[in-house]
Amino acid sequence: MNSKIITRFAPSPTGFLHIGSARTALFNYLFARHNNGKFMLRIEDTDRARSTKEALDALLLGLNWLGLEWDGEVIYQFARNNIHAEAAKTLIEKGAAYYCFMSQEEIEKARSAAVAAGKSFIVKSPWRDADPSSYPHDRKPVIRLKAPNTGETITKDLVQGDVIVANEHLDDMILLRSDGTPTYMLAVVVDDHDMGVTHIIRGDDHLTNAARQILLYQAFGWDIPQMAHIPLIHGADGAKLSKRHGALGVEWYESAGYLPEAMCNYLLRLGWSHGNDEIISREDAIKWFDIEHIGKGPSRLDFDKMRHINTHYIKEMPNLILLEKILKLLPDISEISKIAISKALDSLKPRATLINEIAEMAKIYIIENEITISSEAQDIIQESDSHLIKEAIIVIENSDNLENINETLKALAEAHGLKIGELMKPLRALITGMTNSPSVFEIINIIGKETSIKRLKKGI
């Protein structure tokens, strides 16, 4: 076997990059990087009817967003059809495969007979050992693997342990269809061999394919890659993951305000552990990742934990990079507003779990825009004393700096027998349109007295 570890991620371009597939890609990437090996990308696009350019673009964008860089060129399975076909014919020459001329009607008849007898159906082709001189000339054959009828096939799985299948339960699977196109089983094995793949890390929904693929490796006389079938991700209710649970493409998580660093950290911990560590950087993930600590049970998607991890990465993100992400969500704003938002970031960071939430709160610092007042803030404004607000406006107009505003507004509140928080509630509602925000004193200092007073006057 190749001494250099090579892993691969092999999605079909028939939809978005599912969160479960993203985790599979991450595990393959980390295992290769941990061992100074190669992480390769193969697009299994043989299903031409369902493969689309939009889905392919979504896959590539999703991997790039997550920072999962593959080595070498992308390999497209469909472009290798001739290689797959030739491989099937070499098995004919070796006596490990045969031409089968059974019609679909014959197969269905045999299936019905097996069902009627209460038996499981395995194709038993009369052409398995037929003399080539008896081959019909009016039918195009398929090529079937000549699978062993006795003994057992063992998948020595690195996660699941030994999985044993009796060969009598494995049929002579089709390798090449009558139109000359390869089946999935043949294409995967030939591609993995030609790519030098040493470790196949994939979801355990592929475990049923493993024994058949091992038979193919043995028929070719090739080394069998080590296999690790990882448990699938379930919803919070324990049911198989679906769209209602959040089984969406990674582009949805990006648009919802999650950071790629946070998503990778979350996905890493979804089925793999390193002690009690929850926050794991990319550098540490590469240093620590191994197959031994992949759990054997299914993981459950937990959005609360996902947001918690996202919060950590938002807090740790340098302000310049965070500002860049926020401004993508707030196009066409003035330079003075950009400066105001940048000054507010340290106060906004602890209040958000998603980038979108920061962008929404950052709108209060856009000088040129009129703020939108929430219904909760509107209730506070309607209940407030307009005369008190007018006095606050005068105080702000006559204040020179933040510290001065702070002290004089406190004095105003005391003069009316109020706590400072009771005065700040209507001021916050009028200046920000929200009931929860960073310090009103700080906001006034950042957006300036003129903008603050304008909002207060308009509100009352």
Contacts 24+ apart (CB under 8 A), 401-409: 401/445, 402/441, 402/442, 402/444, 402/445, 405/441, 405/444, 405/445, 406/441, 409/441
Q: Are 279 and 309 in contact (CB under 8 A)?
A: yes
User: What is the C-alpha to C-alpha distance for residues 249 and 232, in angstroms, rounded to an integer?
Assistant: 16
- State whether residue 292 is helix, strand or coil: coil
The per-residue pLDDT for 360 is 94
Low-confidence ranges of the chain (pLDDT < 50): 1
Out of 354, 369, 384, a domain closes at: 369
User: What is the C-alpha to C-alpha distance for residues 350 and 266, in angstroms, rounded to an integer?
Assistant: 19
Q: What are phi and psi of 19, to 5 degrees?
A: -60, -35
190, 101: one domain: yes
| Residue keyed to tokens 């978005």 | 16
The per-residue pLDDT for 2 is 52
CATH of the domain at 195: 3.40.50.620
This prediction has a pTM of: 0.91
289, 325: one domain: no
Out of 178, 198, 230, a domain closes at: 230
Annotated catalytic residue within 243, 343, 390, 419: 243
91, 23: one domain: no
The per-residue pLDDT for 215 is 98
224, 247: one domain: no
Per residue in 45-99, pLDDT (tens digit) is 988 888 889 989 999 999 999 999 999 999 999 999 999 999 999 999 999 999 9
309, 451: one domain: no
Q: Are 420 and 441 in contact (CB under 8 A)?
A: no
Domain that holds residue 22: 1-73+231-316
| Residue 33 token pair | 């990087």
251, 352: one domain: no
Per-residue b or e along 286-304, where b marks 16 or more CB atoms closer than 10 Å to that residue's CB: bebbebeebeeebbbbeee
- The verdict on whether 243 is a catalytic residue reads yes
The per-residue pLDDT for 1 is 45
Out of 296, 316, 336, a domain closes at: 316
| Residue keyed to tokens 């993930």 | 285
For residue 363, what are the contacts with CB-CB under 8 A and spacing of at least 6?
330, 369, 371, 372
| Residue 382 token pair | 């309607």
Per residue in 391-432, pLDDT (tens digit) is 999 999 988 777 788 889 999 999 999 999 999 999 999 999
181, 95: one domain: yes
Please, which residues bridge with residue 161 across strands?
157
| Residue 418 token pair | 């109020």
